Structures are given as structure tokens and as C-alpha cells.
Amino acid sequence: MAISIVKEQFLQALEFPRLLIRKNVDLRDCRFNGHYVGELGCRLCDAAIECKWLTHHDEFSGLASKPLDEIAAAVDFAMHFVEALVMESQHPVDACTCEACAWLRATRRALAEFENRA
């Protein structure tokens, strides 16, 4: 598959976890308004890892111009986040029809294809 198609696929795949993470990470007490400012400012925050991801992979971060490997890594991180949420609520991922499980199945497949590319 052409690189640009894979990239487009990954960029689209990032939309769902972006919404999900925003919904699940509590940034109300954040003094930086949910904008990751680096380890110094954010090291005491429980949401630092997710927040860092959001800040670096939001719609305004120029994602499309980043290298494919970096985008794939972002998808991989998102996959683990969604996986953890789904596990917590004990969805039968292989059979479940909810958006999170459907996203997980599609994303696992896409990442596996990406990793096995020649």
C-alpha cells in the first residue's frame, strides 16, 4: 500500500481516540488549560502522559507533515489507551459492536499490516 494511503488511514484512526481521551482525562484542574508544557511543569500531573499525547497529536499539531513512523507510534499509544478502557469495562473485543471495539479491531489490523510491510 502506498505510504500516503497508510498515513491518511492512521490520521483518520487518531480521531476517535482523541475524542475518547479528551472525554476520559480530567483536565479541569490543569493550570495550563490542558496544554502539555513539558516534564518540568507537568511531572506531578496524573494525566501528563495522555495530555502530552493530546498536545502533540491534536488537529493543530501539523500531524500530516510528520514522519509516518511517528504517526504510527501515536496510533500505537492510542491503541493501548483504548485497549485499557475496553478491558476495564470488560467488552468482548472480538465480538463487541461498540465504536471502541470496532476501532480496536480495525486499528490492530492496520498496525499489524504496517509492521509487516516489506
Q: Which residues contact Zn ion (rule: CB under 5 A)?
A: 91, 96, 98, 101
Q: How far is the CB of 21 from Zn ion (least distance, A)?
A: 17
Please report which residue ranges of the chain form alpha helices under DSSP H. Answer: 3-13, 15-24, 39-42, 48-56, 68-88, 99-115
Q: How far is the CB of 23 from Zn ion (least distance, A)?
A: 15
Question: Which is nearer to Zn ion, 95 or 118 (by Cβ)?
Answer: 95
Question: Which is nearer to Zn ion, 48 or 101 (by Cβ)?
Answer: 101
Question: Which is nearer to Zn ion, 90 or 116 (by Cβ)?
Answer: 90
CA distance 50 to 113: 25
Asked if 111 and 75 count as a contact pair (C-beta separation under 8 A), the reply is: yes
Q: How far is the CB of 24 from Zn ion (least distance, A)?
A: 15
Q: How far is the CB of 79 from Zn ion (least distance, A)?
A: 14
Question: Which is nearer to Zn ion, 96 or 111 (by Cβ)?
Answer: 96
CA 112 from chain centre, in angstroms, equals 16
Please choose, from the candidates 22, 17, 4, the residue with its C-alpha nearest in 3D space to the C-alpha of residue 107: 17
